[in-house]
Amino acid sequence: MKTDLKAVIIGSGVAGLASAIRLSVQGVTVTVFEKNNYPGGKLSHFEKDGFHFDAGPSLFTQPQNIEELFLLAGENMADYFQYEQVPLACKYFYEDGTIINAFTDAKKLGTELAAKLGEDAGSVEEYLLQSKKLYKNVGSIFLNYSLHKIKPLFKAPLAKAIRTVKWKHLFSSMNDVNKSFFTKPQTVQLFNRYATYNGSNPYKAPGMLCLIPHLEHNEGTFYPKGGMISITNALYKLALKKGVKFQFNKPVQRIIYNEGKIKGIIANGENIDATIAVSNMDVYGTYKYLLNDGLTAKKLLKQERSSSALVFYWGIGKEFAQLELHNIFFSENYKAEFDHLFRSKTLYSDPTVYINITSKYGRALNAPAGKENWFVMVNAPANTGQDWDTIKKQCRKNIIGKLNRLLKTDIEPLIETEETLDPIMIEDKTSSFMGSLYGTSSNSKMAAFMRHPNFSSKIKGLYFAGGSVHPGGGIPLCLLSAKIMSEIVAEDFSE
Ligand SMILES: Cc1cc2nc3c(=O)[nH]c(=O)nc-3n(C[C@H](O)[C@H](O)[C@H](O)COP(=O)(O)OP(=O)(O)OC[C@H]3O[C@@H](n4cnc5c(N)ncnc54)[C@H](O)[C@@H]3O)c2cc1C
């Protein structure tokens, strides 16, 4: 790598932090410019009336992506960050009264689905084995390599991938693949739900997404000690240790380039010189506002946006022994729910409700004694100008009705404190266009190839990392986007 390289990172989301760590370890002088007064972007946290809430992500998979950062930096991760394995990936509640404990162990999950639904345990194990193969032989290429750089891609084990991938993974929907495996509609619904991992529709997304259940049911799910916010805190601390400088309350207004080369940025009205600029801002906003390139921004919108979310943060004045860390109350008509989300761009009257309760794992840190901190989320369409105040009121009513029914308890009087999050607020806080959680959806066969690359082919020194670019999606993929980006930087600036 060349010496004297100066990088600016635009945004301190999880991918911005990981990019800062990786580039500084590579010997680059790094400064992060963040418009908010805190790091982490969507991965943030707040406290209200004695209840603590992780504001955004709640499910933690693939801790190895975080471990790798500490290894690279030569630091002992345990001094910054600790986590434990969670035995139950999720507890599922169905309107017909069925309750499924979704173990993170494939065999145990098969036994549970056989006992509760009469599903064939062998089919469940076989499905998860195929999910593992798909993940390891095909998914890992998508996730670890740029799809837009030929040289490194040729180093990838492509022959194995070609042998593994089947027609149905490319040309059938996730729902069709799941229906071909399972006899019970509840099992199909359970595995269809993994399309929402990256804000997609299981009735449209390709069968390839059947690799996602491998993460929860073969690799396992985890809980960071101190909650999800400890991921942000650990990465921020590590970045500082590696000499990264942070400028908070400094929105970047412009990326400056000349003769196809990065020259710097304008942040809060001030010119800052740089040889490298990494945008962790949503790629749409990067083109539209920072590069003043409305045409490219418009082209990006040809791909459908991923779903967004409505979140109710409730301080609950009671403990529910029947609930776990992750709980899902399924809609009785999943197809209708996704039609509402992606076609009518509204919410279905019987939404699937996700409740995350971190006080199950860290009582003293998260809720007063005898109480629980509920993070209640439903999938929502991206913002296209809907009347969110009215939608929120109706949705709150629908959620409470559903929970009253399935938990046989009157929930409303137990809500001691409340905050909400909607697509407009998500965009305000993190500049994620239309409040989409994951940039674009995977609702088409070619979606994985259509995500924006981690570099600019027109401007030397301009790179991208985060949920809206390749490989896209939640925290593990954001961390991988930073990895792919830093490898391209190393190649581009090698001596
Ligand atoms: C409600 C919710 C639930 C979720 N659940 C999960 C989950 O369970 N598991 C999971 O893995 N993922 C989940 N996700 C998705 C996950 O949060 C994101 O994929 C990830 O945090 C995105 O990180 P990022 O690096 O792309 O940046 P973001 O978190 O989007 O941060 C971008 C940062 O850039 C800053 N910024 C933007 N523009 C500028 C500018 N011009 N100048 C300076 N700074 C700027 C923003 O302020 C922000 O801090 C969830 C998200 C939400 C909102």
Q: What is the pTM of this model?
A: 0.97
**How many CB atoms sit inside 10 A of residue 418's CB?**
15
**How many CB atoms sit inside 10 A of residue 447's CB?**
22
- Taking Cα atoms as reference points, which of 213, 215, 238 lies closest to residue 63? 215
**What is the pLDDT at residue 356?**
98
Question: Ligand 1: which atom is nearest the Cα of residue 250?
Answer: 43
pLDDT tens digits, the chain, 495 residues: what are they? 888 999 999 999 999 999 999 999 999 999 999 999 999 999 999 999 999 999 999 999 999 999 999 999 999 999 999 999 999 999 999 999 999 999 999 999 999 999 999 999 999 999 999 999 999 999 888 899 898 888 777 778 888 888 888 888 888 999 999 999 999 999 999 999 999 999 999 999 999 999 999 999 999 999 999 999 999 999 999 999 999 999 999 999 999 999 999 999 999 999 999 999 999 999 999 999 999 999 999 999 999 999 999 999 999 999 999 999 999 999 999 999 999 999 999 999 999 999 999 999 987 789 999 999 999 999 999 999 999 999 999 999 999 999 999 999 999 999 999 999 999 999 999 999 999 999 998 888 888 788 999 999 999 999 999 999 999 889 999 999 999 999 999 999 998
Q: Hey, which of 62, 280, 378, 463 would you mutate to test ligand 1's pocket, going by the most ligand atoms within 8 Å of its Cβ? A: 280
413 C-alpha vs ligand 1 centroid, how far in Å? 33
221 C-alpha vs ligand 1 centroid, how far in Å? 20
The pocket around ligand 1, CB under 6 angstroms, is made up of: 10-16, 33-36, 41-43, 56-59, 251-252, 280-281, 309, 311, 377, 426, 430-432, 437-438, 466-467, 474-475, 478
Question: Ligand 1: which atom is nearest the Cα of residue 41?
Answer: 49
- Which residue's structure tokens are 């009157």? 410
Handedness of CA 287, 291, 295, 296 (dihedral sign): negative
158 C-alpha vs ligand 1 centroid, how far in Å? 31
**What is the pLDDT at residue 394?**
98
By alpha-carbon position, which residue is closest to atom 32 of ligand 1?
A: 13
**What is the pLDDT at residue 92?**
98
Task: Answer for the pair 204, 444: CB distance below 8 angstroms, yes or no.
Answer: yes
Identify the DSSP state of 440: B
Task: Answer for the pair 463, 454: CB distance below 8 angstroms, yes or no.
Answer: yes
- How far is Cα 489 from Cα 75, in angstroms, rounded to an integer? 23
Residue 107 CA neighbour count, 13 Å, CB half: 0
- How far is Cα 178 from Cα 191, in angstroms, rounded to an integer? 7
- Which residue's structure tokens are 């999880």? 14
By alpha-carbon position, which residue is closest to atom 1 of ligand 1?
A: 56
Type and span of the H or E element at 232: helix 229-241
- How far is Cα 51 from Cα 73, in angstroms, rounded to an integer? 34
Helix residue ranges, H only, 360-474: 363-366, 388-407, 423-430, 447-450
Rounded to whole angstroms, what are the CA distances from 139 to 142, 214, 366? Answer: 5, 11, 35
Rounded to whole angstroms, what are the CA distances from 371 to 2, 226, 410? Answer: 55, 17, 15
Contacting residues for 384 by C-beta, under 8 A, at least 6 apart: 345, 434
**What is the pLDDT at residue 21?**
98
293-301's contacts with Cβ under 8 Å and 24+ in sequence apart are 300/440, 300/452
- Taking Cα atoms as reference points, which of 308, 309, 290, 299 lies closest to residue 464? 290
**What is the pLDDT at residue 278?**
98
SS3 category, 307: coil
**What is the pLDDT at residue 150?**
80
Q: Which two tokens stand for residue 247?
A: 């400028």
Question: Ligand 1: which atom is nearest the Cα of residue 42?
Answer: 29
By alpha-carbon position, which residue is closest to atom 47 of ligand 1?
A: 430
By alpha-carbon position, which residue is closest to atom 6 of ligand 1?
A: 57
Q: Which two tokens stand for residue 306?
A: 């991923």
Q: Hey, which of 86, 430, 463 would you mutate to test ligand 1's pocket, going by the most ligand atoms within 8 Å of its Cβ? A: 430
Rounded to whole angstroms, what are the CA distances from 43 to 40, 108, 146, 284? Answer: 5, 32, 25, 20
Rounded to whole angstroms, what are the CA distances from 452 to 70, 470, 481? Answer: 28, 6, 11
